[in-house]
Structure 1
C-alpha cells in the first residue's frame, strides 16, 4: 500500500513539474498583444477583464505609457477615482505631451468636484497644446462647474472670437450664458440673470429657455412693457400661437391693463371658440378688473398730474423713476423725451436719458448723446471716458452684426477722442481682420505699436497677420522677439513654432521645397524633438526623391520617439524606396508582430515583400522572386498580385502545372476576376489542352466582351477542330487562244498532334475529256525545329500529269530563318522529270519572304526556275497580302503542269498578288491573280492570266 502511494505521489510531482516547466518555457503573449486584447475588452464593456490584461501587460513592460493610460481610464470607468488619478498622473510625468492624458485627468477631477486641480491640468494641457479647442472647452466647463461665471463669460467670449464658426463652440457659448442666467435667477439677481440670458440670445435668438426666463423676470420685476414687447415680437413671427397669446394675456393681467387683457381674451375666444380654459377665465378676469380699479396705481396718479400739468417737474421725475424701477426703459425714455421738449438742455434729463439708453443697450444712440454732452463740456474727463467707451460698445454691436463699415466708423470716432485707447485700436484691428483686410489691419497695429511699442498683444496679432499675408520671415522675427523677451512663457515658443510650421506647410503646397525645409529645420533648431517638423521633413525629402535625407530625419525622430508606430512605418517605406528591402521588411514585420490586428502594418509588410519580389524578378532571379511571393501567400493566400506574379514566373519557366495551380487558386478567391481566368486559358493552351482552354476563354468573354477576348476565344475554339473542308477554283485564260481552262478542287484535311494530312480531288474539263486527279498530302513535325512535307498524285492522264511526287524537309534556324531541301518527280506525256528544290525564308515582324530555286532535269535537258514570294500579315497573322514573282516554269505550278513538258525550257516570267482573309480562325477565303509572260521565239511572246479562288472551313 505504501509503495502504491509513493508511485502516485511521484507521478503527481512529475506532472506538476512538467506544468511548471511548460509555463516557464512557454513564450506567452507580449505586452502589445495584451494591450490590444485589453482595448477590445474595454470596447465590450468587460472592464474587470480589461484591468487584469492591463496589469499583465505592465508587468511585462512597466514603461508602457499607452497601457498605463488605458488602466487609468478603466479605473475611472469603474469608479475607482484614486487609482485612476494615480495612473494618469504617472503618464503625464513620463509623457508631458500625451494629449489624451490631460483629458482624462481633467475628467477625473471634474467628477470629483476638485475644480482647482482640474483647472491646473487643463492649463498644463494648454501649455503643451496652445489654442486647442477641446481643452479650451474643458476649461470653460470647469469655470461653469465651479460657478465662476464672470470669468467664464470672458473666456466664452474669447473662445467664440477664436472659433467663431465652430458649432460646438457656439453651443458651449450659449450653454454657458444659459447656465449663468439660471444661477443668477435662482439667487434673485435679476439684472445679471437678464444680461446672461440676453447674451445667450445673441447666438441663439430662438432659444425658448432664455426667452421664457427673460419674460418671467420682466413680469417679476414689473417690467411689463418689455415683457409685452418681447411677446409681441414673437407673435409677429408666429401670429397664430395659442401659447404666445395666452402668455400675453397673463402679462396684461399682471400689468393690471384689464381693457387690453379682456380684448386679448376675446381674440383668443374668437380664434378658439370651444376652448374651455379661455371660457373659464372670462368672469374671474372681469371681477379682478373691477376690484383693481377700486384703487389707483401711484404711477397713474403722477401720470394724471402730468396730463393736467405737463410742466410739473416733481411728477415727471416720479414717473421716470417708477418706469426705470420697473425696468420699463422705453416708457422712461418717452417721459424723458417729453421733458426735454420743454427743457432741451436740462443736464439731469440728458444724463438720465444717457443712463436709460445704455441700460437698454442702445449704445449708438447713447454714444450720440454722450458726444453732445462732451461737446458742451470738453473739460470733463468722465464724459470723455464715457463717450469713448460708448463708441467702442456701439462698434462692438455693429461688429457682432457684421456691419463692418459702421463698426469702423465708431472705433475711428473713439480714437479721434482718445488716439491711445488700446481697446479701440484692438477692436479696429479685429474688424479689419474679420474682413480679411490685412493691409488696413496692419496699418492699425503699426499705429498701436507706435504708441505701445512693447505691447505683446499687438505684436502677437501683427505677427499673425504677417503670417496670413505670407510674410513668414517678418512674422517669425516678431515671434522670436517676443520669445526672447519672455523665454519662460510657453505661448511665445508655441507661436514661433506654429508660425514656422505654417510657413513650411504653405511653401510645401507651393512646391518651394528648399524654403519649406529651411523653416522646418528652424523649428528643429529651437525644438529638436518637434514631431511635426520631423514628419514634414521626412515627407518633404521623400517627395523630392532625397531618400537618404528622409531616412536621416526618420532616424533622428526615432531617437526621440523610438516606439512611434507611424515613424517606424515611414522608415520602412523609405527603405523600400531605397530598395533596401530586407531592412524595410524587418521593420514592417516587427510592427505586424506587435499589432497583429492592425491591417496597415500587415499591408506594409506585404507590399515590401512584393517590392522585393519584383526587384528579384527584374534582376532575372525568378527563383528568389518566387520564394518571396510564397512568403506573401503564406501571409495572405488571397493576395492577387503575388498570385499573378507567381503565375507569370512559373509560366516563363514552362512549369505550367504549378502556374495552373496558382491560377485556379486565384479563380477560387476571385471568381469574377477575368485576369486569373485568362491566365488559366493561356496555360492550358501552352499545355495544348485546347478544349479546356476554350472553355476558360468563354468564361472571360462572359465577364468582359472585348474584341480581344472574343478573338482569343475564337482562336482556342479553332484549335479544338480537327477537320477542314476546302474548295478551290483555278481559272486560266490566254491571249493566243480563245479557250480558257478551269480546275476545281475539293479537299478534306485532318489535323493531328504532329501535323496534318489531306486528300484532294482535282477536276478539269477539256475537249478531249474530263480530267480527274487524286492527291494525298502530309505535313509532319519531327521536333520544334524540323518538319516534313510530302505529296503524291495520280490521274487518268486526260488533263493532268499521270504522277507527281514531292518531298521537302524544312529546318528552322536562329533569327527566324527557315531552310528547305526537297525533291520533285513528274511523269507526263511519256516524259519523266526530276527536280531538286532549295529555299530560304525569313520573317521580319509582320513580313515573311521566301526565295525558292528549282533545278529541273528533263533528260537530256537541264533547266532552272526561281520564285520569290512575300507576304504581309495582319490581324495576328490570320490574314495576309501576298506578292510573288517567278522566272521559269516550276514543277509546283498547278496552272501549267498540264503543259510542263512543252514549257519547261521557255523563258517565262510571272508576277502575281493575292489576299487571304480568315474569319474567327475557322473560315478562310482567298483570291489570287497571276500574270504569266512566256517567250515563244525571239519576237513572239504569249500571255496567260490566272485567277485562283479558295474557301476553307474547319469543323
Structure 2
C-alpha cells in the first residue's frame, strides 16, 4: 500500500514539474514577430492568415496599437466593416495622435456612404493635426461625395491658398470643379456647370474633360462662334489632333462657311490622305456648298475671271480679300503666292502675305517676312511690326513649352530694341517657368537697370526671391513698392501674401520662431489678417505655448468676434491651459448656436471630460462625477464619460451605481470589451463572483488574450468554495539509515470571512502507524485584523499527542503586518508553551517575514528564529521562497516528535521552495530544507527534508 502511494505521488509530481517546465521555457513567437508576419501576409493578399496572426499578437500584447490598426484594416479589406470600425475606433481612443487611424476610420465610413460619420472622423483628426494636408484633402473628398459642392468649393479654395504650389492639391482642386460641373450639367443647370468647368480650366487650361464639356454645352446653346473659338484654342495647343480638326470641320459646315470647311477638309486629307471618312465627305461637302452659294458667290465670280484672265490684278485682290474675310487663310496665301510668282517684290502682295500669315497665327513665318520687309523698306512702322511679330512668335513657342526657341525670338527683339519691356518680361517668365531662378534674376536685374522703378519688374523679382527662399530681400522689395504706391491695395496685399508664404514654408521646415516672425510682421501691417492669426494660434499651440496662443486667439476675436472656428480654437487653448470653465462656456455657446453640428457638441463634452479628469487627479471624485453626468445628459452614449464614472464609483465603493452605468454602456455598445470588463470588475467588488465570471467569459469570447483569460480564471476560482489537498514530507538523516515520511490529506472550505480545514496525517514507523487529526481556521475580523487557530490530536505513535496554536495578525500602513500568538505542545509527557511574534513587510514583488518563538519547557527556556523571503511572479500567483532558521520551532512538522530532545540544541536550517498555481485552481509546490544540529562541541548531525504539496479547488 505504501509503495503504491509513493508511485502515485511521484507521477503527480512529475506531471506538475513537466507543466512548470513547459510554461517556463516554451514561450513561442513574440508580438512583434507575429505583427511582421501579418504585414507580409497582408501584402500577399492572404487576409485570413493575417487576421489569425494579428489576433495572436494582440493576445500577447493587448496594447499593441499598430497591430490593432492592422487588424482593423484587414477587416475592412475583407468587408467586415463592423469589426473594422470597432478596432480602428479603439486605436483612436488609445492613441489619439495616431493619424492613420483617422484615415482608416474615414475610409470605412465613406465606403459605407456614411458621410456624416466620415466627416466627424476627419474633423477629429484635424483637431489633433491642424492643417494636415492629407486629412484636409480627405475632407474635400467627403464634401464632394456627399454632393455639398458649394461648401466643397470654399474648402478647395482655402486648400489652394494654403498649398498653392502643391500638385496634389492642384489636382484635387481641379477634380472638385470637374465633379461639380458634371453634377450640374447632368441636371441641366448650364450656368453653374459652365462656371465650375471654367474654374477647373483656370488652374489646368489644357484639361480635356472641361473643354469637351464646355464645347458640348456651347454647341447645344447654338453659339457656333463661341464653339469655334474654343476649338481653335484647343487646336493651338494640339495642332495635330484629328478629332479637333474634324470637330472644326463640322462647325464650319453648320455655319455654312463652306470655303473654310473645304479648306479644313483639305488640311485633314493632307495629313491623313488615306482616311476613308474624310475622303467620303469631299464630294458631298462641295455639292452642299454649291447648292448654298449657287451663282451668287462673288468669290466664285472673281475666281472665274482669274481662270480666264490670270493677270487681272483687281480680280486677284478681290479673291485674296474675300478669302481673308472668310478666314480661308491658306487659300488667300495660295492666291498671294500665285501673284508673287509674277511680281516677287510687289510690296502690296508681300504686305498682304504678312497679314495672312499673322491672321493664320503663323507668327514665326510672318516675323521672317517682316524682317525682310524691314531691311528692304526700313520704317519705324516696319520695325514695330517686326518686333510685335517676334514677340508673338516667342509667345507661341512659350505656349508649346519650347523655351529655347522662344528665348531665341526674344533675343532678336532685344537686339532690335534693347529696352523693350515686353521682351524682357517674357524672357524672365521663360526662366521662371523653367524654375531657372538664377537666369530669371539676371534678366530682371538687367531690366531694372534700365527701368529701376518699374513696378512689374520689382514685383516679379520679389516673387522670384521668395521662391528661392530669400524672403528678407523679397520683403524689402515689396516694402519699397508699397512705399512708392502707399494707397495701392495690390502692393499691400502682395507684401502680406509674401510674408504669409514665407511663414508657411518656414513652418514646413519646422523653423517655428522664424515663421512666427513673418506672421507677426503681417499683423503689424494688417492686425486683422485671419490667416496670420490662425497660423500663430496653431503654431503656439503646437509648440506648447498656450499663453501665447490665447493672446492671438483673443486678438483674432477682437476683429472677428463671431468666428466659430476662432471660438473653437480658443476653447481648445483654454482646455490646454486647464481653464476648463472658460473653455466649456465657449463650447457651450457654440453648441447652443449650432445645435446640429456634432463637432461643437463633441468639443463641449470633451471639455467637460477633461475637467472631470482633472478633478479626478486632484482626488475630488464627486466633482468629477458631476461633470461626467453633464456629459451623459447631453450624450447618453458617451463611452468615456460612462467608463470614467464606473471607475470613480468603484473607487467610492458605490458598486450598485457603477453597475448601472456598466449596464448602460452595454446597452449602447453590446459587444464592447471595456464595458464587459467594467461589469465583471464591479460584480467582483460586490463579491458576486458567479455573475462576474460570466461577464469575464463574454470578454474572452470577444478577445481571448492571455490577460482576459487569466482574469476569467481568477473569477471562476472565486466561485469555488472547497479545496482538496495532498502533502508529502520526506526526511532523511546522515546519522541513521532510517527515512521517515509523512503523508497528509486535507479538505478546506472557504466562507465569506475566511476558511476552515481538516487534515489527516499518516506516518509509518517500526513501532507502529501514526495518525494525527488537525483542525485549522483562518478568520477575518475586519480589513486590518484576522486570526489563525490550530488544534491537533494523535495516537502518539509518531506524532505529538496534542498541538494547539493561535495568532492574531494586524495590518499597518506601508504594507507592514504584525503577529502575536501562542503555541502549546504535548509530546513524550513534555509540555511546552511558546510565545510567537513576527513582523512582515512587502516591497513590490518581495515579501519578507521574521518570526521569533519564545519557548518555555519547564524548567528550561529557549528561543527560536525564522526568516522567510518570497519573490512573487505572475501577478502573485507563483513564488520562489528562501528560508533560514535558528533553533527548533514548535511549528516545524518534521521534528516535532523529537522536540523535547532538540529544543535546547544549537540548530541551523536553510531551505528553498517553489510554488506554482495553474489557473487559480491547482497549486503545486516543492520545498527542500537542510538542518544542521550541534549535538556536542565536536559532533554535528544533518537532516534533509523534501516537502511536496498539491491542492485543487472545486
Fold conserved between structures, TM > 0.5: yes
Aligned to 1:877, the other structure's residue is in SS state: coil
Deviations 1:745-783 (A, max 9, x none): 111111111111111111222222222222111111122
Q: How does 1:332-371 map to 2 (within 5 A)?
A: 350-351=350-351, 353-371=353-371
Distance 1:724 1:799, change over 3 A: same
Q: Which residue of 2 aligns with 1:661?
A: 660
Q: Which runs of 5+ in 2 are unaligned?
A: 1-152, 158-172, 182-194
Q: How does 1:65-104 map to 2 (within 5 A)?
A: none
Q: How does 1:701-780 map to 2 (within 5 A)?
A: 701-780=700-779
Q: 1:251 aligned to 2:291?
A: no
Return the alpha-carbon distance in structure 2 between the equivalents of residues 865 and 382 of structure 1.
128
Deviations 1:316-342 (A, max 9, x none): 999988977886655665676688789
Alpha-carbon deviation of 1:689?
A: 1.6
Q: Which residue of 1 aligns with 2:934?
A: 935
Distance 1:537 1:451, change over 3 A: same
Return the alpha-carbon distance in structure 2 between the equivalents of residues 652 and 231 of structure 1.
91
Deviations 1:521-556 (A, max 9, x none): 433343333333333333344344443443333333
Q: 1:463 aligned to 2:497?
A: no
Return the alpha-carbon distance in structure 2 between the equivalents of residues 448 and 467 of structure 1.
19
Q: How does 1:354-433 map to 2 (within 5 A)?
A: 354-377=354-377, 379-433=378-432
Q: Which residue of 2 aligns with 1:838?
A: 837
Distance 1:405 1:492, change over 3 A: same
Alpha-carbon deviation of 1:730?
A: 1.2
Q: In terms of mean alpha carbon deviation, does 635-644 or 877-886 score higher?
A: 635-644
Distance 1:932 1:665, change over 3 A: same
Q: Which residue of 1 aligns with 2:145?
A: none
The answer (yes or no) to whether the contact 1:756–1:778 under 8 Å persists in 2 is yes
Deviations 1:632-681 (A, max 9, x none): 22222222222222222222222222222222222222222222221222
Q: How does 1:221-236 map to 2 (within 5 A)?
A: 221=259, 224-230=262-268, 233=271
Q: In terms of mean alpha carbon deviation, does 329-338 or 712-721 score higher?
A: 329-338
Root-mean-square deviation (CA), in Å?
4.0
Return the alpha-carbon distance in structure 2 between the equivalents of residues 389 and 179 of structure 1.
34
Q: Which residue of 2 aligns with 1:269?
A: none
The answer (yes or no) to whether the contact 1:924–1:951 under 8 Å persists in 2 is yes
Alpha-carbon deviation of 1:229?
A: 1.8
Q: In terms of mean alpha carbon deviation, does 449-458 or 620-629 score higher?
A: 449-458
Q: How does 1:841-920 map to 2 (within 5 A)?
A: 841-920=840-919
Return the alpha-carbon distance in structure 1 between the equivalents of residues 325 and 605 of structure 2.
80
Alpha-carbon deviation of 1:712?
A: 1.2
Alpha-carbon deviation of 1:926?
A: 0.7
Return the alpha-carbon distance in structure 2 between the equivalents of residues 417 and 857 of structure 1.
130
Q: How does 1:3-14 map to 2 (within 5 A)?
A: none
Return the alpha-carbon distance in structure 1 between the equivalents of residues 870 and 266 of structure 2.
104
The answer (yes or no) to whether the contact 2:215–2:230 under 8 Å persists in 1 is no
Aligned to 1:899, the other structure's residue is in SS state: helix
Q: How does 1:232-631 map to 2 (within 5 A)?
A: 233=271, 239=275, 244=278, 246-251=280-285, 253=287, 329-330=329-330, 350-351=350-351, 353-377=353-377, 379-631=378-630
Q: TM-score, normalised by structure 1?
A: 0.72
Deviations 1:506-526 (A, max 9, x none): 333334444434433433343
Distance 1:761 1:234, change over 3 A: farther
Q: Which runs of 5+ in 1 are unaligned?
A: 1-98, 104-132, 142-154, 186-191, 257-283, 285-290
Q: In terms of mean alpha carbon deviation, does 409-418 or 333-342 score higher?
A: 333-342
Q: In terms of mean alpha carbon deviation, does 366-375 or 613-622 score higher?
A: 366-375
Larger radius of gyration: 1
Q: Which residue of 2 aligns with 1:199?
A: 233
Aligned to 2:384, the other structure's residue is in SS state: helix
Aligned to 1:898, the other structure's residue is in SS state: helix
Return the alpha-carbon distance in structure 2 between the equivalents of residues 559 and 298 of structure 1.
78
Q: Which residue of 2 aligns with 1:111?
A: none
The answer (yes or no) to whether the contact 2:237–2:399 under 8 Å persists in 1 is no
Aligned to 1:436, the other structure's residue is in SS state: coil
The answer (yes or no) to whether the contact 2:201–2:207 under 8 Å persists in 1 is no
Q: How does 1:759-838 map to 2 (within 5 A)?
A: 759-838=758-837
Alpha-carbon deviation of 1:430?
A: 2.1
Return the alpha-carbon distance in structure 1 between the equivalents of residues 672 and 367 of structure 2.
78
Number of aligned residue pairs: give it: 757
Aligned to 2:252, the other structure's residue is in SS state: helix
Alpha-carbon deviation of 1:219?
A: 5.2
Q: Which residue of 2 aligns with 1:673?
A: 672
Relative contact order, higher structure (CA 8 A, sep 6+): 2
Distance 1:877 1:693, change over 3 A: same
Alpha-carbon deviation of 1:824?
A: 2.1
Q: TM-score, normalised by structure 2?
A: 0.72
Aligned to 1:862, the other structure's residue is in SS state: strand
Distance 1:161 1:597, change over 3 A: closer
Return the alpha-carbon distance in structure 1 between the equivalents of residues 197 and 454 of structure 2.
21
The answer (yes or no) to whether the contact 1:226–1:327 under 8 Å persists in 2 is no
Alpha-carbon deviation of 1:497?
A: 2.6
Distance 1:716 1:195, change over 3 A: closer
The answer (yes or no) to whether the contact 1:177–1:197 under 8 Å persists in 2 is no
The answer (yes or no) to whether the contact 1:846–1:873 under 8 Å persists in 2 is yes
Return the alpha-carbon distance in structure 1 between the equivalents of residues 551 and 895 of structure 2.
84
Return the alpha-carbon distance in structure 2 between the equivalents of residues 302 and 157 of structure 1.
49
The answer (yes or no) to whether the contact 2:868–2:882 under 8 Å persists in 1 is yes
Question: Which of these residues, 250, 254, 259, is aligned with residue 212 of structure 1?
Answer: 250
Q: In terms of mean alpha carbon deviation, does 793-802 or 321-330 score higher?
A: 321-330
Q: In terms of mean alpha carbon deviation, does 557-566 or 778-787 score higher?
A: 557-566
The answer (yes or no) to whether the contact 2:218–2:224 under 8 Å persists in 1 is no
Q: Which residue of 2 aligns with 1:71?
A: none
Aligned to 1:897, the other structure's residue is in SS state: helix
Return the alpha-carbon distance in structure 1 between the equivalents of residues 359 and 268 of structure 2.
17
Distance 1:447 1:929, change over 3 A: same
Q: In terms of mean alpha carbon deviation, does 209-218 or 330-339 score higher?
A: 330-339
Alpha-carbon deviation of 1:255?
A: 7.9
Deviations 1:95-114 (A, max 9, x none): xxxx99xx9xxxxxxxxxxx
Deviations 1:20-66 (A, max 9, x none): xxxxxxxxxxxxxxxxxxxxxxxxxxxxxxxxxxxxxxxxxxxxxxx
Deviations 1:856-901 (A, max 9, x none): 2333333222221111111111111111111222221111223223
Return the alpha-carbon distance in structure 2 between the equivalents of residues 679 and 156 of structure 1.
54
Alpha-carbon deviation of 1:170?
A: 6.1
Deviations 1:362-410 (A, max 9, x none): 2223323333443445x33333223222222221221111122221222
Distance 1:158 1:762, change over 3 A: closer
Aligned to 1:944, the other structure's residue is in SS state: strand
The answer (yes or no) to whether the contact 1:755–1:781 under 8 Å persists in 2 is yes
Return the alpha-carbon distance in structure 2 between the equivalents of residues 180 and 558 of structure 1.
50
Return the alpha-carbon distance in structure 1 between the equivalents of residues 390 and 609 of structure 2.
71
Q: Which residue of 2 aligns with 1:272?
A: none
Alpha-carbon deviation of 1:718?
A: 0.8
Alpha-carbon deviation of 1:184?
A: 7.6
